[in-house]
Amino acid sequence: MSPHSPSDPDASHEAPDHRDERHELDLGQFLPYRLNSLADRISQALSRIYGERFGITIAEWRVLAWLSHREELTAKQIGEHTRMDKAKVSRAIQSLEGRTLIRRTQSSQDQRVHYLHLTREGEEMLGELIPQAHAWEAELVTTLSTGEYRDLLNTMGKLERQLARLEG
């Protein structure tokens, strides 16, 4: 048995009183569920900034964010980085190009690939968006100590690596 005693669904048989608190804890201590609903809530809250203020989707934001640190990326590379499937990436790119936030230039070596870059317009939007995203994140983590924040990222890194091990 793991030392972490994740929620035990049969536990309710042992102590029928306090059922209310205990069942709250049950799913509430099942890591996949907790993690998923936390991430979901954060995503939704943040996408209010992307969506309402800037009119872009999460997929579009991810494409833009990656383009902000790298000059030339292809759709495929963005798909690898963001773990979005290529159809989703393709549609995000189409939409961003339609709004002239990014531009595409065909590679001369390989006619199939297109390098993507931010336009001036796209850079300007990111120049506004990114600080707001960071400000929001800062507000979210404001109740954590520096150590807690570092430990969180650290632990998440461990889980990611273990996940890769389980997957691979």
Binding partner of 123, given DNA, its own copies, none, CB within 5-8 angstroms per partner class:
none
Binding partner of 15, given its own copies, DNA, none, CB within 5-8 angstroms per partner class:
none
Binding partner of 85, given its own copies, DNA, none, CB within 5-8 angstroms per partner class:
DNA
Closest distance to its own copies from the beta carbon of 5 (Å): 9
In the structure encoding, which two tokens stand for residue 162, read together? 């273990």
Answer yes or no whether residue 110 interacts with DNA by CB under 7 A: yes
Contact yes or no for 102/67 (Cβ under 8 A): yes
Using a 10 angstrom Cβ sphere, with 0-12 exposed, 13-18 middle and 19 or more buried, the burial of residue 78 is buried
Contact yes or no for 96/102 (Cβ under 8 A): yes
In the structure encoding, which two tokens stand for residue 40, read together? 């979901």
Pick from 59, 63, 67, 96 the residue near DNA by CB under 7 A: 59
Contact yes or no for 142/130 (Cβ under 8 A): no
Pick from 57, 68, 119, 132 the residue near DNA by CB under 7 A: 57
Rounded CA separation 83/86 (Å): 9
Which of 96/126 has CB closer to DNA? 96
Residues that bind its own copies (CB under 8 A): 1-4, 6-9, 12, 19, 22-23, 26-27, 29-43, 45-46, 62, 65-66, 68-70, 81-83, 126, 130, 133-134, 137-144, 146, 148-149, 151-153, 155-156, 158-163, 166-167
Q: Which of 116, 4, 142, 127 is nearest to 54 (CA)?
A: 127
Contact yes or no for 78/89 (Cβ under 8 A): yes
Pick from 88, 99, 103, 117 the residue near DNA by CB under 7 A: 88
Q: Interface with DNA by CB under 7 A: which residues?
A: 57, 59, 74-77, 84-91, 93-94, 109-114
